[in-house]
């Protein structure tokens, strides 16, 4: 949930002002991940010295604090390493003391930035306090920094390398994390490690790299990673020592960073939680995998990996340096006031990008290359289990009916956290589909690993290429919605909806009886982008609803039926998370079983009443609430003449029933945006929330 950024330059002269600007820009690009507080740690004026700048609130406040300081910003460094962090509070309230980077002692011998949760931090804190170490903050991260110093101090006669030291520390930790370590004992070096939280490294050089990969340096057979998951009894805080001394690593040179003449070359490294923080500097990145430890020093990057206790080899012996496809302009607001507004208006293009190269409108054919080899296995599956959280869960609810109709396979939709809590039975002939915008959602990843252990076929539907879910599933679909900076995930919902729908269409292509239905849906997909533009043209009337009939309301009910139940759930989620108004999505068929008691002339209601096979039943629900003096806003089709006169309406174009939810959600996205703006709330950074949920 937090944002990590580190900047390492080698043989590249940079002044302190430039370094601070690079760090602050990197944090600002990741501010959606957490914005309770922000801090940076940079090299000081003397060897081993560090300067810290920390501020509660957003990065703008941190910039101001740096500008007001009396630090010499013109001082230049030929080589340096700096670390930065934007926080989403888990342990301790937002405060300067709890702000990262966190140090091991007043001299800052070791400093750490961290994304994730160390679940055994309380036990570590207790042990370290008994050994005389003082804690300043409430955070779990400080225990890691102090533990690092303790292990370093406990072996004065044997100085480990920075990498070996960090490996020893990691063996004592439980939970999920991405770390960057910096130390005065190892100048101009940093070590990063990840387990369960995303981390990538950007590389910028003047000359072309010799090879486009970095070798992974394996641990020997005696060195295992089991301590990461469960520290051994009696081994707590005890650095590993053995008759053979330190383990022998299978060494390989960092070939990518060797110049033709063998001389070191100027280079810059950027470590971040998200590619958006790196794109303005370089497009060349490598993604670290779980249990990778990266060491940057003297212009070289080495990746180390400890072998798991089962002896299984890593997935690859190298990490590929990839080229990012996104452009800087894609993560800028442009002419819009907020990222959420921009992303709502980008949906005509984002849905086209999701379909591009996959839908042949001339032959009415769907081709999802990532699934092609697995289609026979999916069709033979005894059931399809969707697993997701939040908005991604709603996209699964929205497409469940079309999956059941076109595949005739039983479908269940699970909230990832509840799925794990129940220890849901999963079998080898199940097909489990994991949906996540970021591909890093902690609960969904844990559910994925649970299903992999039980032999099920696992399919990923994600937006971020190279994410954990995209790497660990057997096959999958990238939704290609483009970068999402706003917390609201507006583009992700519509693109996930379409990606899942295309998946159902491809699974049914061998069924002649569904040919006419498939053709109708594909024709609807063809018309969808222009229909979305049509809906967006009604933005002004939605703004009037926000400032008029819904102004100053404390609660809102949204109701619909069939395909539109998911629309109500997602619309209610958007309204509550962006405008802080209590809102609830209700299945119209359940109205008489309780929710009807809430209805009176003072309760605002939005009812989704577009024309499909369930239209008469929703009309019945409309009659029931108006009989109780409700004055609902009705989302209906443009040509619907059956809506009583005087009723407030939001008109949308008519399309195929299974696609109607895409057009119906856009007015609710806009409505939530205008409600938030009217009340003066920060649309892109709603309180207490973060974009990428990388903790359970």
Active-site residue list: 2
Alpha-carbon gap, residue 659 to 655, rounded angstroms: 6
> Which residues are 42's β-sheet partners?
51
- SS3 state at 388: strand
Q: How many other CB atoms sit within 10 Å of the CB of residue 56?
A: 18
Kindly state the helix (H) or strand (E) to which residue 367 belongs, with its residue range.
none
Burial 28-41 (b: 16+ CB within 10 A, else e): bbbbbbbbbbbbbb
Using CA atoms in the order 519, 405, 378, 442, what is the torsion angle rounded to 10 degrees?
Answer: 110
Are 550 and 605 contacting, i.e. CB atoms less than 8 angstroms apart? no
Nearest CA-CA partner of 41 in 153, 141, 154: 141
Q: How many other CB atoms sit within 10 Å of the CB of residue 104?
A: 23
Q: How many other CB atoms sit within 10 Å of the CB of residue 21?
A: 15
User: Which residues make Cβ contacts (< 8 Å) with residue 53, sequence separation at least 6?
Assistant: 20, 39, 40, 42, 62, 65, 66, 69
Give the strand order in the sheet containing 318-320: 102-103, 110-118, 175-183, 189-195, 292-297, 300-305, 213-218, 318-320
Give the start-end residues of each E strand in 240-399: 267-272, 284-287, 292-297, 300-305, 318-320, 322-323, 359-360, 365-366, 383-388
Give the start-end residues of each E strand in 485-568: 555-560
């Amino acid at each position: 949930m937090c944002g990590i950024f580190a900047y390492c330059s080698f043989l590249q002269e940079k002044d302190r002002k430039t370094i601070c600007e690079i760090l602050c820009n990197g944090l600002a690009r990741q501010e959606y991940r957490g914005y309770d507080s922000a801090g940076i740690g940079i090299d000081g004026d003397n060897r081993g010295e560090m300067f810290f700048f920390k501020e509660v609130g957003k990065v703008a406040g941190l910039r101001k604090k740096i500008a007001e300081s009396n630090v010499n910003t013109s001082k230049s460094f030929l080589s340096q390493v700096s670390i930065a962090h934007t926080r989403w509070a888990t342990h301790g309230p937002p405060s300067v003391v709890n702000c990262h980077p966190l140090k091991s002692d007043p001299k800052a011998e070791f400093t750490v930035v961290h994304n994730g949760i160390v679940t055994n931090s309380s036990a570590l804190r207790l042990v370290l306090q008994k050994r005389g170490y003082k804690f300043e903050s409430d955070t779990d991260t400080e225990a890691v920094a102090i533990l690092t110093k303790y292990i370093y101090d406990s072996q004065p006669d044997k100085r480990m390398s920075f990498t070996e030291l960090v490996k020893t520390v990691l063996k004592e930790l439980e939970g999920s994390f991405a770390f960057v370590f910096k130390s005065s004992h190892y100048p101009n070096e940093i070590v990063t490690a990840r387990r369960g939280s995303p981390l990538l490294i950007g590389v910028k050089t003047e000359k072309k790299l010799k090879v486009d990969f970095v070798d992974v340096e394996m641990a020997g057979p005696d060195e295992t990673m089991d301590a990461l998951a469960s520290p051994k009894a009696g081994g707590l805080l005890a650095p590993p020592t053995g008759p053979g001394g330190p383990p022998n690593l299978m060494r390989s040179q960092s070939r990518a960073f060797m110049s033709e003449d063998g001389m070191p070359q100027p280079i810059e490294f950027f470590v971040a939680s998200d590619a958006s923080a790196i794109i303005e500097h370089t497009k060349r990145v490598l993604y670290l995998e779980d249990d990778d430890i990266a060491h940057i020093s003297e212009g070289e990057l080495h990746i180390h990996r400890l072998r798991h206790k089962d002896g299984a080899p890593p997935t690859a012996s190298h990490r590929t340096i990839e080229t990012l496809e996104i452009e800087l302009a894609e993560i800028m607001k442009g002419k819009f006031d907020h990222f959420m507004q921009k992303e709502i208006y980008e949906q005509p293009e984002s849905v086209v990008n999701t379909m591009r190269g996959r839908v042949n409108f001339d032959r009415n054919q769907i081709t999802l290359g990532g699934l092609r080899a697995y289609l026979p296995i999916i069709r033979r599956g005894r059931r399809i289990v969707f697993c997701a959280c939040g908005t991604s869960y709603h996209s699964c609810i929205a497409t469940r009916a079309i999956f059941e109709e076109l595949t005739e396979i039983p479908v269940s939709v699970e909230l990832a956290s509840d799925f794990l809590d129940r220890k849901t039975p999963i079998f080898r002939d199940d097909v489990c589909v994991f949906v996540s915008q970021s591909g890093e959602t902690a609960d969904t990843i844990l559910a994925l690993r649970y299903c992999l252990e039980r032999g099920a076929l696992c399919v990923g539907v994600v937006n971020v290429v190279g994410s954990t879910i995209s790497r660990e599933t057997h096959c999958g679909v990238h939704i290609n919605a483009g970068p999402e900076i706003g917390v609201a995930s507006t583009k992700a919902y519509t693109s996930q909806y379409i990606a899942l729908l295309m998946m159902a269409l491809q699974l049914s292509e061998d069924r002649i009886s569904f040919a006419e239905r498939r053709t109708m849906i594909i024709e609807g997909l063809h018309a969808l982008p222009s229909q979305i533009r049509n809906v967006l043209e009604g933005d002004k009337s939605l703004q009037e609803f926000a400032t008029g009939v819904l102004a100053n309301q404390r609660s809102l009910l949204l109701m619909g039926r069939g395909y539109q139940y998911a629309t109500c759930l997602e619309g209610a989620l958007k309204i509550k998370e962006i405008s802080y108004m209590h809102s609830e999505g209700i299945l119209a068929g359940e109205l008489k079983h309780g929710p009807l008691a809430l209805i009176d002339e003072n309760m605002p209601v939005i009812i989704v009443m577009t024309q499909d096979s369930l239209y008469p039943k929703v009309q019945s629900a409309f009659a029931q609430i108006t009989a109780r003096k409700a004055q609902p806003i009705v989302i209906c089709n443009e040509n619907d003449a059956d809506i009583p006169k005087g009723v407030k309406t939001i008109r949308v174009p008519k399309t195929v029933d299974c696609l109607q939810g895409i057009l119906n959600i856009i007015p609710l996205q806009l409505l939530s945006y205008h409600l938030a703006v009217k009340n003066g709330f920060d649309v892109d950074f709603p309180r207490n929330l973060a974009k990428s949920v990388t903790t359970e």
